[in-house]
Structure 1
Amino acid sequence: MSETTTPAETLGSPPAGSRRKLHGNLGVASIVFMVVAAAAPLGVIGGVVPLGIAGGNGAGFPATFVVATIVLLLFSVGFTAMTPHVDEAGAFFSYVRKALGFPVGIGVALVAVVSYVAIEAGVYGLLGPAGASIVELFGGPTLPWWLFALAAFAVTTYLGYRNIALSSRVLAVLLTAEIAIVAILDFVIVVRGGDHGLSTGVVDPHAILSGSVGIGLLFAIISYVGFEATAIFRDEARTPERTIPRATYLSLILIGAFYAVTSWAMISGWGDEEAVSRATDSGSAFLGDTAQRYLGTIGADVITVLYFTSLFACILSFHNVVSRYLFALSQRDVLPASLSRPHGRHGSPHLASLWISGVVAVSVILAVVLQLDPAAQFYTWFAGATTVGIVVLLIATSVAVLAYFWTDARGHSQWRIRVAPSLGLIGLAGALVLILANLKDLVGGSSVLAWVIIGLLVGAFAIGIVIGRRVESRPTSS
């Protein structure tokens, strides 16, 4: 027996055998359903859009979704160019590890884990009250929000333990329903011509540049969190070299079009000035009020129910994503090896899934014990951490793409490996500046909390660097 140092490239790769590797046959549609569900389109329309209209650039807000989509598509050009050269399911950290080294990759991985766990836990703070409102809507008693969070948690834990195909089928049903009802609302508003004719704010430079464009773009970027998770399903995808790029582009285009069209329709439904006034005054009730006006009581009730299921779909999607992050880290011996052993029958990362459920359960219990407001505090604080973390991950991946192709274009055009990634990086860097400048407002006006969030993410990255270096230098027997 002799001692040898493990090569860095070998460290970054999963085991050659299949015992610690996930398997599946997911096509483009299945991955798109999970990614779009993670974006929680109905949740964004009901929660983020009113904030963007009220605090951002008013009637010009739909145009910010167009800008955000373009920036993320530019990012995806380089991201998908590198995909065939990253033969492992680790999403961002696999790309960063490949170009910038194993320790940096592990640092990025821990930032990703913190970001995804935060959003999964935080959304329970929206789901709980949404469930309580449904019971009250149908004449039931006022129940504590955590009862509904507990029920959703149990279902999420069960589905996360099972095969990914089951989760994808559940998400497909829920996502189809929520998109269908919003599409109907959009259609009715457009056919009726809105309150004062259809809004022209989406193409009017004066409207687009009015108010606070920065805040508008900030809320638009937040709405896409989760689209990048296409690559985490690599091992479970059918022909991933083709499936992952197609799913990435299709997810972005669908999300962007849905948000832009629906926010434009909702503004048209009230008229530019009235829409800004109502979004400011009614906030999360803006969607319900619009539905009540154009679809009647039944339509508004249906949207209330589907808002709840949209949030559940979001939680389930992020749970699947972060479970696979843990599985991938375990494959590389950063976490206990037991976490990278798939379930014998379901082929799922069942132990990694249970770990995540445990962390989320502790977070929700603490929120209840500390009597945090589920939406204004619990969700907002956690969403703030996720927003910063995900944009940082996008920036790191953009840098990794540029570095990877720096000396060898590998047959790609300059547009694909230089120009588009650079433009995307500039756009993302601008978004990060906006987010950090407004982070205090995102987390309830607390500068201390804003710095705590930044410190948490920086700490996660630093810990990952240390762990990565230790694993990289660990001697192995041969």
Structure 2
Amino acid sequence: MAISPTGTASASAVGSQRLTGTLGAGSIVFMVVAAASPLTVIGGAAPLGILLGNGPGYPSMYAVAGLILLLFSVGLSAMSRVVPRPGAFFTYVGYGLGRKQGLGAAFLALLTYTTIQVAVYGYLGFSLNLALTNLGLPELPWWLYALAMIAFVGVLGYRHIELSSKVLGVLLVAEIGIVLVLAAVVMATGGAEGLSAAPFTPVNIFSGAPGVGLMMAIAGFIGFEATAIFRDEAKDPEKTIPRATYAAVLLIGLFYTFGGWALVMAWGPSQVVQAAAEDPGAMIVVTAANYLGSAGAIAINVLLLTSLFACVLSFHNVITRYQHSMAAAGTMPQLLADVHPRHLSPHKSSLAQTITATVLIVAFALLRMDPVLQVFTWLSGIATLAIVVLMAQTCLAVVAYFGRHSELTGGPWRTRIAPVLALVGLLAAGAVIVAYFPMLVGGGWGLSLALMATIPLTMAAGLLRGRYLERQDGAAYARITDAIAG
């Protein structure tokens, strides 16, 4: 990458390393909502939230989490308007709290998205093996299916982002559609005990372990905040990115809350915990069989698999663009910043991420780790806590940045009040996640502390990298917050 004497990218460099596209708000929303894997959350996480969290009051936790993240989106959108860079957490924390802190956030973001993606690969490999075995096919190791999915995702990720957005759009419409059909039938039949607002009453909201419920609800939102990463590929980023951010969190929050309510109504507030306890993994399939018949159960089974696939494809696109952004800023190998001349994609970054996922899955297979009880639960636990830490840092960065730049318009609500309220909510959620981390990962405090330690260690690695660049490569250090932009 050619650098001018001022430390900025030259025109030729920008031309070869800039991502371009015409993504509208709808396409970006499809990708980030697909990362949230809505059917997997309703079919897989919601039964566990009902069982381990606050029972029939669990759907209310989605509303609480949605409110916290909507407040967070206010500050995120304010930054996206005044900082024309595609690095999201990486860039915003760098502008608000300093370059080294920004690089620490970048490293932590890569840890977050990589762990959640590989966690889902493990779960997807297990689920594919189970589904095909039930159809009479011979049983194969879960990791073979996971590696096959990595290869498929790698092909899509190598090509232009429009192809991924179309695939994700089709899969997302299908999985949301089946849940809405199921909910409509539940409402039409009156559910098991009649329709009511029982999940939103105080007696149910505060029953059981609402802290666990909130923790699991926040985990279901991972990925919505990635809208800013697609800035360079958006049609009109100053309008598209804020619209996509608000639309994503509202759609996810409303869908989760409504889908969770329908699930409770399908079994009845007094019976739903018992139904979840019998077999939480099969609860959504049994519910579909009860209300939609065998065809509905089969459709749910198939769409649960495609939902997991959509999730890993979306996170692949997010990670490759994070790496591209960091490479363009000189903090990762420069080849990761290259853009394919025909596909206009960060193809080398995509290949690097495909290799990373492959190596991790092979390593877990050699260690004979269980794909669900270890790969999925351990890595998703790390990602859940890490994303809360990242968003809390971003809230601080918004307040700090606008505090130093009072000449920028935005108003106190967007630049101070909403970010501070979001920060309070995120800190409370973070404390709950730490307290219940052993339950989340299914192990004791020794394992939990070891897994949680990856978060400060990763941030420290980013800070040390920033310090090294500050001393050894001043031009690269100056570019930490200047990822390629239009």
Map 1:104-119 to 2 at 5 A: 104-119=101-116
Could you tell me whether the CA contact under 8 Å between 2:151 and 2:354 is conserved in 1?
A: no
Distance in 1 between residues matched to 2:426 and 2:15, nearest whole Å: 37
**Following TM superposition, by how much is the alpha carbon of 1:426 offset from its aligned partner in structure 2, in angstroms?**
0.4
Distance in 2 between residues matched to 1:250 and 1:125, nearest whole Å: 30
Q: In terms of mean alpha carbon deviation, does 239-248 or 130-139 score higher?
A: 130-139
Map 1:403-442 to 2 at 5 A: 403-407=400-404, 408=406, 410-442=408-440
- The Cα offsets for residues 133-185 of structure 1, whole Å up to 9 and x where unpaired, read as 32234333333322321221111010111111111111011111111111100
Which amino acid is 1:465 matched to? L
- The Cα offsets for residues 186-221 of structure 1, whole Å up to 9 and x where unpaired, read as 100011000010142233111111111111111111
Which amino acid is 2:28 matched to? I
Aligned to 1:122: 119
Could you tell me whether the CA contact under 8 Å between 2:199 and 2:269 is conserved in 1?
A: no
Which amino acid is 1:85 matched to? V
Could you tell me whether the CA contact under 8 Å between 1:47 and 1:283 is conserved in 2?
A: yes
Distance in 2 between residues matched to 1:196 and 1:409, nearest whole Å: 57
Could you tell me whether the CA contact under 8 Å between 1:14 and 1:328 is conserved in 2?
A: no
- Residues 1:232 and 2:229 aligned together: yes
Distance in 2 between residues matched to 1:27 and 1:50, nearest whole Å: 34
Map 1:8-407 to 2 at 5 A: 17-407=14-404
**Following TM superposition, by how much is the alpha carbon of 1:101 offset from its aligned partner in structure 2, in angstroms?**
1.1
Could you tell me whether the CA contact under 8 Å between 2:36 and 2:223 is conserved in 1?
A: yes
Which amino acid is 1:79 matched to? L
**Following TM superposition, by how much is the alpha carbon of 1:92 offset from its aligned partner in structure 2, in angstroms?**
0.6
**Following TM superposition, by how much is the alpha carbon of 1:82 offset from its aligned partner in structure 2, in angstroms?**
1.4
TM-align CA RMSD: 1.9
Q: In terms of mean alpha carbon deviation, does 141-150 or 437-446 score higher?
A: 141-150
TM-score by structure 2 length?
A: 0.94
Could you tell me whether the CA contact under 8 Å between 1:199 and 1:271 is conserved in 2?
A: no
Distance in 1 between residues matched to 2:96 and 2:379, nearest whole Å: 30
Aligned to 2:483: none
- The Cα offsets for residues 286-319 of structure 1, whole Å up to 9 and x where unpaired, read as 1111111111111101110110010000000000
- Report the secondary structure of 2:300's partner residue: helix
Going from structure 1 to structure 2, the CA distance change for 1:15 and 1:190 (only over 3 Å counts) comes to farther
Distance in 2 between residues matched to 1:440 and 1:14, nearest whole Å: 51
Distance in 2 between residues matched to 1:161 and 1:391, nearest whole Å: 30
Q: What percent identity do the matched residue pairs reach? A: 46
| Consecutive unaligned residues in structure 2, runs of 5 or more | 477-486
Which amino acid is 2:466 matched to? G
Distance in 1 between residues matched to 2:366 and 2:77, nearest whole Å: 44
- Report the secondary structure of 2:17's partner residue: coil
Which amino acid is 1:357 matched to? T
**Following TM superposition, by how much is the alpha carbon of 1:274 offset from its aligned partner in structure 2, in angstroms?**
1.2
Distance in 2 between residues matched to 1:459 and 1:142, nearest whole Å: 39
Could you tell me whether the CA contact under 8 Å between 1:194 and 1:271 is conserved in 2?
A: yes
| Consecutive unaligned residues in structure 1, runs of 5 or more | none
Going from structure 1 to structure 2, the CA distance change for 1:195 and 1:401 (only over 3 Å counts) comes to same
**Following TM superposition, by how much is the alpha carbon of 1:368 offset from its aligned partner in structure 2, in angstroms?**
1.4
- Report the secondary structure of 1:17's partner residue: helix
Identify which of 452, 464, 482 aligns with 1:466: 464
Could you tell me whether the CA contact under 8 Å between 1:228 and 1:248 is conserved in 2?
A: yes
Could you tell me whether the CA contact under 8 Å between 1:199 and 1:272 is conserved in 2?
A: no
Q: In terms of mean alpha carbon deviation, does 247-256 or 438-447 score higher?
A: 438-447
Going from structure 1 to structure 2, the CA distance change for 1:476 and 1:90 (only over 3 Å counts) comes to closer
**Following TM superposition, by how much is the alpha carbon of 1:88 offset from its aligned partner in structure 2, in angstroms?**
1.2
Distance in 2 between residues matched to 1:476 and 1:191, nearest whole Å: 64
- Report the secondary structure of 2:193's partner residue: coil
